[in-house]
Amino acid sequence: MLTTHVLDTSMGCPAAGLQVDLYRIEDGVRTLVRSSTTNSDGRTDGPLLPQEVFRKGVYEIVFHAGGYLQRIGATVRQPSFLDEIPIRFGMSEEQHYHVPLLLSPFGYSTYRGS
């Protein structure tokens, strides 16, 4: 299973309404698996990749930060410093993977959570 959580560190709250796209990477080809939007808790309503369709491999989550930051009225110049944030990672075990994003208008961080 794969889940995510987006926190807006500049506002100190969950990033609600941020579009998140999950892609599977095979032989250099990127295929969209699922597109979701974060809820009021900064999470998607369900897993990005439920356990019943989990496959080991290389994936990429694209966080659409630019639209979110513009919508909340963050002070950013155009073009904004951050727009789409791609995080490419491998899942080599049949476990729960959690890939959170800590976001501000000028930086972000991520890690393998639990």
| Structural domain for 66, as ranges | 2-110
* Domains identified in the chain, total number: 1
> What are the Cα distances from residue 110, in Å, to 15, 31, 78, 107?
14, 22, 25, 11
Low-confidence ranges of the chain (pLDDT < 70): none
* pTM over 0.75, yes/no: yes
Note the pLDDT of residue 78: 83
d(CA 8, CA 13): 5
- The answer to whether the Cα torsion of 43, 46, 49, 54 is positive or negative is positive
Note the pLDDT of residue 75: 77
Q: Which helix (H) or strand (E) holds 65?
A: helix 65-71
* CATH code for position 36: 2.60.40.180
CB distance 103 to 8 below 8 Å:
yes
